[in-house]
Amino acid sequence: MDRREAGSSFRDPDGLVYTLDGALYRQLHAAALPHYRRLMDSGLYAALTGRGWLVEHREAGPEMRFDDRARLVLAPRPVPFPSYPHEWCFHQLKDAALLTLDIQEEALRRGMVLKDASAHNVLFDGPRPVFIDTGSFETLEADRPWAAYRQFCRHFLAPLALMAARDVRLGRLLQLHPDGLPLDLACRLLPRRTLLRPSLLLHLHAQSASQRRGAAWTGRSRGRRMGLSALLGLAGHLRGAVARLEPSRSGSAWSGYYGMRSYSDRAFADKRATVAAFMDRAGGRTCWDLGANEGVFSRLAAGRGMAVVAVDADPVVVDGHYLALRREGVEGVLPLVVDLLDPPPAGGWAGEERRPFLSRGPADLVLALALVHHLALGGNVPLPRIARLFAGIGRRLVVEFVPKEDPQVREMLAFRRDIFDGYTAEGFEAAFGACFRIEERAAVEGSTRTLYRMTALTA
């Protein structure tokens, strides 16, 4: 039996996450058992899973344990695609923060508390956040402050405040600081006007000062206690702080892209119909839509029952896509902020705590529509390299080639030297033909563009 410990589960000594022959398990150690019993017996588990807030699990037999420390083995429902906070847009991080506080409040009402408040405890199942760490619940000890308060502020409040007050692109700072933004750094980057907002003054600026003046503050807090109503008050205050944060709607280079497209509605309708037909013939259960923008084609794939990961480099566009999915109740599409020119790398201890984006596949189907010209001409990536990358992450491919005659490409090359001699339909087919079998091609009516359906030669 193939046993593999999850690269990110070693920090908490009370349990362990691992896979056995690819199936996911969590073992609980002796210290965690009373807390787990309370989670189940208090009705907290039923309340949280009933609302879709906590991932469901079943209890598995002891033969499925990882090692002898196990006192109980759980088999959690796997979430289809792992994602990390630095890949989320603003409202994904905000919803994950609110979910964490919802769970904290519900736990407090039932005599329990979250012992950690890491953003890594949340995953997205399509566009819905779900808390995955069943081992995070502990029995509430009387009069104790919330041990995870600082962690919550570092993982959620500080990056959200920065994204809202400065720029949503600062979410990427979480890649540099996987254990959350240091509060002193966040406070140095935040505008001074945030000192006038009581919630940010208290939870970020004052807390940052408390790290520097810890001794004096600790002395003054001697003998004080924090009861249940204070803990509920703290959670409610944090909720208000998070809920009020909204980024300014300044737009970006890619928002409204479909409205600015360089071809007609008729051409777009024809492209949509051809892509749908190609998808039907390609089939598959998982799809990566690269350069998904507002997700028009992601929805076509989701409508065919595929679990879709829709990536785009622009956090404003991904935010718009995510909000639309939530608003319209669309399931099965996970939007993520991923720049293919610099995809999220491996990270954490030994580079094993976070998996690189490109290794989380392969997908059954890769969509690369109106993308290749941005990589080739905007990013100077030669076509053979693009083809090799696509062949490594997907078995089948629906791809669009936009020639130099296209108005948008003409605009891209208007003020720069054309160094792209190989960027022709023949060059494209030669480069992709080395990695894929070209199954069919179709011109997009009323445009100079061509759509291809391909199968990877290694598939």
Write out the residues near other proteins by the rule CB under 8 A: 11-14, 113, 115-116, 138, 141, 144-151, 153, 202, 206-207, 209-215, 217-222, 224-227, 229-234, 236-237
Coil, helix or strand at residue 151: helix
| DSSP 8-state class, residue 246 | -
Nearest alpha carbon to residue 88 among 130, 117, 127: 127
Q: Please, which residue, 145 or 378, has the CB nearer to other proteins? A: 145
User: Cβ 58 to other proteins, closest distance in Å?
Assistant: 26
Give the burial string for 57-73 (b: 16+ CB within 10 Å, else e). Answer: beebeeebbbeeebbbb
What's the CA gap between 105 and 92, in Å, rounded? 20
Q: Please, which residue, 11 or 385, has the CB nearer to other proteins? A: 11
User: Cβ 280 to other proteins, closest distance in Å?
Assistant: 49
User: Cβ 113 to other proteins, closest distance in Å?
Assistant: 8
> Which H or E run includes 348?
none
How crowded is the C-beta side of 208, counted as CA atoms within 13 Å? 18
User: Cβ 213 to other proteins, closest distance in Å?
Assistant: 7
Nearest alpha carbon to residue 90 among 257, 278, 245: 245
Q: Please, which residue, 146 or 436, has the CB nearer to other proteins? A: 146
User: Cβ 233 to other proteins, closest distance in Å?
Assistant: 3
Q: Please, which residue, 115 or 299, has the CB nearer to other proteins? A: 115
User: Cβ 186 to other proteins, closest distance in Å?
Assistant: 14
φ, ψ for residue 279 (rounded to 5)? -60, -45
Coil, helix or strand at residue 74: strand
Q: Please, which residue, 63 or 141, has the CB nearer to other proteins? A: 141
Q: Please, which residue, 69 or 326, has the CB nearer to other proteins? A: 69
What's the CA gap between 76 and 60, in Å, rounded? 10
Tokens of 15: 């349990």
CA 214 to mean position of chain CA atoms: 34
Give the burial string for 305-333 (b: 16+ CB within 10 Å, else e). Answer: ebbbbbbbbbbbbbbbbbbbbeeeebebb
Q: Please, which residue, 240 or 305, has the CB nearer to other proteins? A: 240
